[in-house]
A and B are shown apart, each in its own frame.
Chain A
Amino acid sequence: VQLVQSGAEVKEPGESLKISCKASGYTFRTYWIGWVRQMPGKGLEWMGVIFPGDSETRYSPSFQGHVTISADTSSSTTFLQWTSLRASDSATYFCARHKHSTLPDYWGQGSLVAVTS
């Protein structure tokens, strides 16, 4: 299993952003895959997951409405998207395959997002 994430991004408040995570080494459409936030020097916060086989998506209430998780089965890629970034979105974002919808078992290398004016 390998999860390769897109590179670091520097954005201004109010801008939109879509980061990606390309999966390989397993059947993409048959496992949940999701996103976890880590703010600088802090712990892990689970944002939500998607099941690529039917696009069912589950969000943490803390992130519902502010981000969108999607998946493209043709490229085995999952995405995390913002329409209007805030400075407080500055963090490292990890994608993670989930053994089931609540158990991350393989992690991507992380994507650093910096939102600054």
Chain B
Amino acid sequence: DIQLTQSPSSLSASLGDRVTITCRASLPINNLLNWHQQKPGKAPRLLIHAASLLYTGVPSRFSGSGSGTDFTLTISGLQSEDFATYFCQQSASSPVTFGQGTKVDI
């Protein structure tokens, strides 16, 4: 299985901050890396697929980059509704695997 390691595991930020979360894969996965957001008690939501493509309805303050083994999710101008846990997920091979999550709080 492909292992995904996120950093940091948690971070504290303020409204308007620029936040960066990284995800490292144990094997090269081209650009087959996706990011999901999960708020407490809610279902996850797909934000970015294929490393850098914004999914339907996702605000443009979210962006993704990377290829191979190293990937980044950036939130430019943190809003109150962005406080959540973010998971990276690889779709290069089965079984699908997720990173352990990064919790973004105030």
Interface residues on B, range: 20 to 34
Which A residues are within 8 Å of any B CB, using their own CB? 36, 43-46, 48, 58-62, 94, 96, 99-110
Check A102–B46 contact: CB distance below 8 A: no
Q: Which residues of B are interface residues toward A (Cβ below 8 A)?
A: 1, 32, 34, 36, 38, 42-46, 49, 55, 87, 89-101
Closest chain B residue to A94, Cβ basis: B43
How many whole Å from A111's CB to the nearest CB in chain B? 11
* Contacts between chains A and B (CB distance < 8 A), count: 61
Looking across the interface, which residue of chain B has its beta carbon closest to that of A45?
B98
A99 to B56, CA, bound (A): 12
CB distance from B77 to the nearest CB of A (A): 25
> How many whole Å from A3's CB to the nearest CB in chain B?
8
Residues of A within 8 A of B93 (CB): 102
